[in-house]
Amino acid sequence: MNEALLIFGMFLVTFLARYPLLVIVGRVALPQRVFRALRYVPVAVLTAIIVPAMLQPAGRLEVSFTNAYLVAGVVATGIAWRTRGLLPTIGGGMLVFVLWRVLVPGAGG
């Protein structure tokens, strides 16, 4: 594998995702509908990353108490819902995750 080419290619496609719309959208008028759609982007994209990571941590569906990703993810969701704070969510979620994997038989990696 040509590592320099790999990194350059990854840089290029990533930058092409990040840059062009930043310049274009501010300068041409977009329909109101587009802006309404954009408000859903973070929720849609991030949830689409989170939910499979919780339910399918090893690629197959795993709805059980020994799935630490699911248990800690649900707890973190609860914390985030109640506190709306980033730090309690991240800290609390990671703590539950670590403890669950250490203490619950079968939940370790």
Partner 1 sequence: MIAASLPAPAATRPVEFINGIKDTLPMIVGAIPFAILFGALGTNAGLSPAAVAGMSLFVFAGSAQFIASGLVQQNISLVVIIITTLIVNLRHALYAASLAPYMKHLGQTWLLPLAFWLTDETYAIVIRRYARLEEAAPYKHWYHLGSAVAMYVNWQVFTWVGMFAGSQLQGLATWGLEFAMVVTFIGIVVPIIRTRPMLVCAVVAGGVAVLLNDLPNKAGLLLAAFAGIVAGMLLEQAAPPDSSRSATL
Q: How far is the CB of 64 from partner 1 (least distance, A)?
A: 15
Residue among 64, 65, 94, 106 that touches partner 1 (CB under 8 A): 94
Nearest CA to 68 among 44, 95, 48?
A: 95
- How many residues bind partner 1 (CB under 8 A)? The answer is 74
Is residue 1 part of the contact set for partner 1 (CB under 8 A)? Answer: yes
Residue pointed to by tokens 């954009």: 38
**Which positions from 21 through 80 interact with partner 1, judged by CB under 8 A?**
21-27, 33-57, 59, 61, 68-69, 72-73, 76-77, 80
User: Angle formed by the axes of helices 41-55 and 68-83, to 10°?
Assistant: 150
Least distance in Å: CB of 101 to partner 1? Answer: 6
Comparison of 15 and 65: residue with beta carbon closer to partner 1: 15
As a whole number of angstroms, the longest Cα–Cα distance in the chain is 57
Smallest distance from the beta carbon of 98 to partner 1, in angstroms?
A: 8
Yes or no: say if 75 and 99 are a contact pair by the CB < 8 Å rule: no
Task: Tell me how far apart the alpha carbons of residues 70 and 100 are, in angstroms, rounded to a whole number.
Answer: 11
Please report how close the Cβ of residue 96 comes to partner 1 at its closest, in angstroms.
9
Which residue's CB is nearer to partner 1, number 7 or number 103?
7
- In contact, 69 and 85? CB cutoff 8 Å: no
